[in-house]
Amino acid sequence: MALKLQTNFKGITAEYWKILKADTGFIEGKTLVRLGLYKDKTAREANTANFIDVKAFIYDIVEATRAELYAKIKEPVIVNEVNTNPFTNAEDC
C-alpha cells in the first residue's frame, strides 16, 4: 500500500508516498511515522533508498497496522476552520 499525491519537490514532480518506517514509543504512547516521496512506483520498486523527500508524523497511537497509519495520514487537520493536510486528497495505491 502507498499514497498517490502529485507533489513538486525542488522542481521534480513526484507522486508516490510510501511509509519508510514507523517507530512506536510504548512508554510515551506515540508512533512516529516517516513517509518517503518517490518519483513514482517504478522508482520505489527499483530501489527503496530512492526517495527524494521525507515527511514525519507523530500520532498518539500504538500498535497500528500500516493500513491504519495510511488512514491516519489522510485524516483532515483543521486549523482556523481550514483543512491544512494535503494528504486528505491522496489516493490509495
Ranges of each domain in the chain: 3-92
Q: What is the pLDDT of residues 37-58, one digit of tens each?
A: 999 999 999 998 999 999 999 9
Q: What is the pLDDT of residues 68-86, one digit of tens each?
A: 999 999 999 999 999 999 9
Kindly list the distances between the CA atom of residue 63 and the CA atoms of 33, 44, 49, in Å, as whole numbers in the listed order: 12, 25, 25
pLDDT grade for 26, boundaries at 50, 70 and 90: confident
| The three grid cell numbers given for residue 19, joined into one nine-digit string | 511509509
pTM of the prediction? 0.91
Burial of 38 (0-12, 13-18, 19+ CB in 10 A): buried
**All residues at 6 or more sequence positions from 89 whose CB lies less than 8 Å from its CB, including other chains:** 5
